[in-house]
Structure 1
Amino acid sequence: MALPTLLLCLSCCCWASLNALTLLAPDKKSYEGVQGSKITLECKYTLDPNDNGTLDIEWFLVAADSQQADQMIINYHMDQVYQHSGSLNNRVHFASPDPRNGDASIEIVQLQASDTGTYQCKVKKLPGSGNMKIPLTVYIKPGHTRCFIDGRPEIGNDLALKCAAKEGSAPLTYSWQKISDLGKLPATATVDPTGGILTVKNASKEYSGTYRCISQNRVGNDECLLILNVEPPANTAGIIAGAIIGTLLFLIILGLLIFCCCRKQQEKKYEKEIQHEIREDVAPPKSRTSTARSYIGSNHSSLGSLSPSNMDGYSKARYNQVPGDEQERPPSQIPSQIPSQNASFSGPKVAGPNLSRMGAIPVMIPAQHKDGSIV
């Protein structure tokens, strides 16, 4: 009796587990999307007749760091859909119009590279519940691929045709084709598929043509074109000679300009020095008035040296008039009569020896011209 009872219990448990809420395995274990496109993450389920609770569907973006909480992006509860703020806001919705029919899948539109991560689907209808995780990787197609030549395209030179895509998820690979002249690459050409470099040794005229580079990854590709014209070497000697001649001319012109500027500065400096220079070799102008005054003062000194006994004779003497002296004397000092130039003193003459015995000091009176200047 114990064995049949145990078998009955096991069969009941298996039937219950088979009829409980179950999440169906998706068609893919992981999903890959392209930036700018849309993708559907599958999450389908079956219910048990005993699951009579409220249907609750939740989608989470699992945090990369286990120390952080998962981010809820959308959920279904009490026949209502709720979207949550975040990077996926307004870009995610349920794929089925009615998630109660067993389809809890979501659709994400306008995929971005930041959408890459692990998503978790939880379906609960008490007493049954289930959850599953779905990895998603968003790739960026190659874009803005550019081709260019590294090296001078001349006969005999080694050239490197390079190709690079500014956008695109790794890993990127590159391939080169020649779309002219039967599409054959040069015999000396080697291709680096990861670096996008086509190396050509000892280039010749036959290597000229149109080349195409294709950049690709697992979600797309892009390309660019390059036209190669291999020419004979340029006359480098003439170019160098022209450059040297041009440099010399420039230096000569620059030297002339510097010389002219320095000369101009020296001329300006010389003019300033001439304006402030004092001439020592030119005598100052003669002053008639000062000469006449000196002469008159000399006469007065001579008269003052005479003794009192001779003052009467000299007081009557009149000196010749000095021109211009009357203009400086006040009217009261101008003599009323102007004697002639050859007139002599009217008083008695005293001989020189007598004057010496009388104690007078002989004075030499300077001679005068008619104009009154002293000689």
Structure 2
Amino acid sequence: MALSNPRLCFILLSLFPALVSGLEVTTTQVVALEKAAGQSVKLDCQFTLVPEDSGPLDIEWSLLAADSNDEDKVVILYSGDRVYEDYYQPMKGRVHFNTPDPKNGDASINLTGLKSSDSGTYQCKVKKAPGIGSKKMKLIVMVRPSKPRCSIQGTTEEGKNIVLRCTTAEGTKPMQYNWEKTTDNKLLPSTAVLDPVEGTINVRNVSTSASGTYRCVASNRVGSDDCVLNLLITPPRNTAGIIAGSIIAVLLILILLAIILFCFCRARNRKKYEKEICNEIREDVPPPKSRMSSERSYIGSQRSSLGSMTPSNMQDYTLKSQYNKIPTVEEYERPPSVAPLPPPTNVAPLPPPTSVRMAGPNLSRMGGIPVMTPAQNRDGSIV
């Protein structure tokens, strides 16, 4: 048993040159490559063959999965003297072999129009039975910084605290930000605190000497870009004057609103009053009574009554106290419902008329015209 072990080792050593000989990948490329998005990259894979490698040549490039549970993605393949380039749809039309005939010992590929999704670990595997060889390399596709945006946070007033900020929408980290002043003494304010990772400058108790033009440069390992900012620090404002002016402005606005509201209410009330007057139903006022016409009509009626009387009934008429005087204004205007006042007692009665009767011939001789007088009752009315 002890002799058999040295013999076995001798047999294995004799076979070792045959095991280590054959296909070999001789690429000396670095393990990791860093490229910017949009650029092109060449992934080297050089190999050598030996006479014992007599089988068909197969070359396979694949993108290894980050998770061991996922499958690797074949990017490009050479088999049976034919190239297959459409295995991986995201890289269709962007991946090619470096030479038209890879069997000459050059299995390198070129990637064009790099994208950030192209980052990963690639493996070149060459097979030619019985030989086999492989090589892994890492590709990092970095996105260069986009145009940064410079902004100011805070009040640009003397004595206040402000922050100058620089940000980019795109760019592969780690990102560096550098601020510089391009005017005057080209020195940042003495109270400024620069943060190159966040891209900010904190300035406390800023003074007017900080006014000027500032430039921010955003950069990473594949590129850089910049932006410019103009900073103007103003003197402190008169707070008391601003407050007083604001109060006066508010009072004027309130007075103006009060005047407008008063005019509106007044116009509305006037319009409402005119509308009520137009809709009101009025009663016609009776015309005033004429004293002279009433008295004249009364006197005329009395005269007509006296003219129609004969001497025979004059005596009865004289006995009626109501025919011996003209009614006063108060008696005339008294409503009919009020009883007439009694005749005055201090008026002397008229003397009785003489009962003189004249014959018809005498009246004719004197030029008179006999008139037939109708009979009257005791009250003086015509029968």
Give the TM interval when normalised to the shorter protein. Answer: 0.5 to 0.7
1:188 to 191, 200, 203: 191
1:5 is displaced (CA, Å) by: 6.5
> Following the alignment from structure 1 to structure 2, what is the Cα–Cα distance between the partners of residues 252 and 13?
112
- 1:215-364 matches, within 5 Å, as 215-279=218-282, 281-282=283-284
1:8 is displaced (CA, Å) by: 6.0
The question of 1:119 aligning with 2:110 is answered no
Task: Indicate conservation of the 8 Å contact 1:41/1:106, yes or no.
Answer: yes
Task: Indicate conservation of the 8 Å contact 2:31/2:136, yes or no.
Answer: no
> Following the alignment from structure 1 to structure 2, what is the Cα–Cα distance between the partners of residues 20 and 261?
107
Structure 1 counterpart of 2:38, one-letter code: G
**For residues 274 and 30 of structure 1, do their structure 2 counterparts lie closer, same or farther at Cα, with a shift above 3 Å needed?**
same
2:133 to 121, 130, 133: 130
Per-residue displacement from partner, 1:283-341 (whole Å, max 9, x unpaired)? 89xxxxxxxxxxxxxxxxxxxxxxxxxxxxxxxxxxxxxxxxxxxxxxxxxxxxxxxxx
Q: Secondary structure at the match of 1:129?
A: strand
**For residues 131 and 269 of structure 1, do their structure 2 counterparts lie closer, same or farther at Cα, with a shift above 3 Å needed?**
farther
Which TM-score applies when normalising by structure 1? 0.66
Gaps of at least 5 residues in structure 1 are 285-350, 352-375
1:88 aligns to what?
Answer: 91
**For residues 70 and 257 of structure 1, do their structure 2 counterparts lie closer, same or farther at Cα, with a shift above 3 Å needed?**
farther
Per-residue displacement from partner, 1:160-215 (whole Å, max 9, x unpaired)? 22222222112222222223334322222221122222122322233233222222
> Following the alignment from structure 1 to structure 2, what is the Cα–Cα distance between the partners of residues 129 and 26?
18
Task: Indicate conservation of the 8 Å contact 1:191/1:197, yes or no.
Answer: yes
Structure 1 counterpart of 2:73, one-letter code: Q
1:177 aligns to what?
Answer: 180
Task: Indicate conservation of the 8 Å contact 1:145/1:166, yes or no.
Answer: yes
Task: Indicate conservation of the 8 Å contact 1:19/1:47, yes or no.
Answer: no
1:300 aligns to what?
Answer: none
**For residues 274 and 182 of structure 1, do their structure 2 counterparts lie closer, same or farther at Cα, with a shift above 3 Å needed?**
closer
The structure whose Rg is larger is: 2
> Following the alignment from structure 1 to structure 2, what is the Cα–Cα distance between the partners of residues 28 and 90?
26
Q: Secondary structure at the match of 1:100?
A: helix
The CA RMSD over aligned residues, in Å, is 3.0
Q: Secondary structure at the match of 1:69?
A: coil
1:90 is displaced (CA, Å) by: 0.9
> Following the alignment from structure 2 to structure 1, what is the Cα–Cα distance between the partners of residues 132 and 252?
91
> Following the alignment from structure 2 to structure 1, what is the Cα–Cα distance between the partners of residues 50 and 156?
75
1:230 is displaced (CA, Å) by: 2.7
Query: Post-superposition, which runs of at least 4 consecutive aligned residues in structure 1 deviate over 6 A?
Result: 1-5
Task: Indicate conservation of the 8 Å contact 2:40/2:114, yes or no.
Answer: yes
> Following the alignment from structure 2 to structure 1, what is the Cα–Cα distance between the partners of residues 170 and 235?
37
**For residues 242 and 130 of structure 1, do their structure 2 counterparts lie closer, same or farther at Cα, with a shift above 3 Å needed?**
same
Structure 2 counterpart of 1:39, one-letter code: V
Which TM-score applies when normalising by structure 2? 0.65
Q: Secondary structure at the match of 2:190?
A: coil
Identity across aligned pairs (percent)? Answer: 47
Task: Indicate conservation of the 8 Å contact 1:19/1:49, yes or no.
Answer: no
1:6 is displaced (CA, Å) by: 5.0
1:75 aligns to what?
Answer: 77
**For residues 257 and 120 of structure 1, do their structure 2 counterparts lie closer, same or farther at Cα, with a shift above 3 Å needed?**
farther
> Following the alignment from structure 2 to structure 1, what is the Cα–Cα distance between the partners of residues 104 and 237?
78
2:166 to 163, 167, 170: 163
> Following the alignment from structure 2 to structure 1, what is the Cα–Cα distance between the partners of residues 21 and 160?
77
Structure 2 counterpart of 1:41, one-letter code: L
1:137 is displaced (CA, Å) by: 1.8
Gaps of at least 5 residues in structure 2 are 287-376, 378-383
